[in-house]
Amino acid sequence: MMPFMCDTLFVPSSHAASGSAIFAKNSDRHPDEPQVMTLAPGPRWASLLSRPVWMKGAEMGINARGVVIGNEAVFPRSKPARDGVLGMDILRLALEESATAEEAVDFIGHFVETRSQGGNGAYRGKLFYDNSYLVADFTDAWIIETAGHRWAARRLTAPASISNCYSIGTDFDRSDPVTAAGKQHGYSFRSQVENRLYRFITQGDFRRACSLSAVSSAGATVETAMAALRSHGPRVRGAKSVCMHGGLLVTSATTASMVVELRAAERRAIIWFTASPMPCVSLFRPAVLENGSFRPLWEDYDYKEGSGAAEQYWKHRRSATRELERTSLADASLAARRDAAQHELIRLAAGPANPAEIGKVVRAFEGA
User: What 3-state class would DSSP assign to 169?
Assistant: coil
- 127: in domain: yes
- 2: in domain: no
pTM equals: 0.94
Report, as residue numbers or ranges, the catalytic residues. 6
Note the pLDDT of residue 7: 87
**Percentage of the chain with pLDDT > 70?**
91
Ranking 127-141, 213-227, 231-245, 297-311 by mean pLDDT, the lowest is 231-245
- 198: in domain: yes
Per-residue DSSP letter, 3: P
Rounded to 5 degrees, φ, ψ at 153 are -135, 140
Question: Could you tell me which residue, 18 or 247, shows the higher pLDDT?
Answer: 18
CATH of the domain at 34: 3.60.60.10
Residue range 241-287, pLDDT digits in tens: 788 887 666 678 999 999 999 999 999 999 999 999 999 999 999 99
Task: List C-alpha distances in Å: 41 to 88, 275, 294, 304.
Answer: 16, 19, 11, 10
**pLDDT averaged over every residue in the chain:** 90
Containing structural domain, residue 341: 7-366
Do residues 288 and 242 touch, judged by C-beta distance below 8 A? no
- 32: in domain: yes
Residue range 36-46, pLDDT digits in tens: 999 999 999 99
Residue range 187-225, pLDDT digits in tens: 899 888 887 776 666 666 676 777 777 777 778 999 999
- 353: in domain: yes
Number of structural domains in the chain? 1
Instruction: Write a three-state SS string for 63-124.
Output: ECCCCEEEEEEECECCCCECCCECHHHHHHHHHHHCCCHHHHHHHHHHHHHHCCEECECCCC
C-alpha to C-alpha distance for 8 and 228, rounded to whole angstroms: 10
Under 8 Å CB-to-CB from 180, ≥6 apart: which residues?
A: none
Do residues 3 and 127 touch, judged by C-beta distance below 8 A? yes
- 1: in domain: no
Q: Where are the alpha helices (DSSP H) in 168-246?
A: 177-184, 189-193, 196-202, 204-215, 222-230
Note the pLDDT of residue 2: 47
Sign of CA dihedral 314, 319, 323, 329: positive
- 144: in domain: yes
- How far is the first Cα of the chain from the last one, in angstroms, to the nearest whole number? 35
